[in-house]
Amino acid sequence: MLNPFKLPDRSRADGRPLCPWETPEHADLYVAVDHSQGEFLKYQNELQVDSDFTKSGKLVLITG
């Protein structure tokens, strides 16, 4: 199936997803959904704070 949208660095037949680490122009093509961006930034900020959690060396995996 052809992609109906013209993407930087992609042909219409290229079905790969956006890849902002390879093509920086892709970063501007994402759409905010259900305030998830703000919640993710808040989560990142909480992890960056010098806390017992970050000192413990535990790994957090978030999927979804």
CA–CA dist 45, 49 (Å, integer): 7
pLDDT of 31 reads: 81
Answer yes or no: are the C-beta atoms of 56 and 49 closer than 8 Å: no
Inside any domain, residue 36 = yes
Where residue 42 falls among pLDDT bands split at 50, 70, 90? confident
Inside any domain, residue 6 = no
pLDDT of 1 reads: 67
Mean pLDDT of the chain: 79
Q: What percentage of the chain carries pLDDT values higher than 70?
A: 83
Asked if pLDDT for residue 40 goes beyond 70, the answer is yes
Cα–Cα distances in Å, from 52 out to 3, 45, 58, 59, 60?
Answer: 47, 14, 10, 13, 14
Inside any domain, residue 30 = yes
Give the pTM: 0.44
- For the segment 2-24, the average pLDDT, to the nearest whole number, is 83
Domain count, the chain: 1
Residue for token pair 């919640």: 39
Inside any domain, residue 5 = no
Token digits of residue 51? 């806390």
Inside any domain, residue 3 = no
Boundaries of domain holding 52: 16-64
